[in-house]
Amino acid sequence: MEKLNNEAILNLIQGAFPNDVLFHEEPYGLLTIEVTAAKGHEIIEWLKNHETLSVNYLTNIAAVHYPEDAGREFAVVYQLHSWKNLFRLRIKCYLPKENVSIASLVDIFPGANWMERESYDFFGVEFIGHPDMRRILNEDSMDYFPMRKEYALEDDTREDKDDRYFGRNNQ
């Protein structure tokens, strides 16, 4: 078997999903592809079950907020790892702010459970099909998603903090 390099991996994915790989790049040699959000679940499942690729480990799920990027304000980023072939892969799905939801991966990788709850907790990304979609780190009574950029990072009940000492002097 020839060695799996990024190009070969990309070709395999593009071959199986010709219309769903929207963009690809290799920052620092890490193959990164953007796929349509609706197909994210299917592609990851395919990668895991693929005989040669065998992407069997989900390293991380993260969300990103790009408030200026109309129609694709939220990105969900999956980092995957193939222990068999020793390569890593990053998959991005973009979501509009009107409907920040994407299929849950818990049925493929049980370890996705807490990662998805974390993304929900901080960015409000709804993972459809998640067995227990609630906050994980913040207090349950919190009524907003603190990592969204429209919310101030600071605690609004603070009294004795001076912005100048925190690297912010925009008053």
Binding mask 146-165 for another protein (x = CB under 8 A): x----xxxxx-xxxxx----
Binding mask 84-123 for another protein (x = CB under 8 A): ----------------------------------------
Binding mask 117-146 for another protein (x = CB under 8 A): --------------------xxx------x
Cα 17 to the chain's mean position, in Å? Answer: 20
Nearer to another protein, 3 or 158 (CB): 158
**Whole-Å CA distances, 21 to 49, 59, 67, 125, 136:** 19, 21, 23, 22, 32
Nearer to another protein, 25 or 154 (CB): 154
- Using an 8 Å Cβ cutoff, are 110 and 91 in contact? no
CA dist 9 and 74 (Å) reads 26
166 belongs to the binding site for another protein (CB under 8 A)? yes
Task: Give the residues lining the site for another protein (CB under 8 A).
Answer: 137-139, 146, 151-155, 157-161, 166
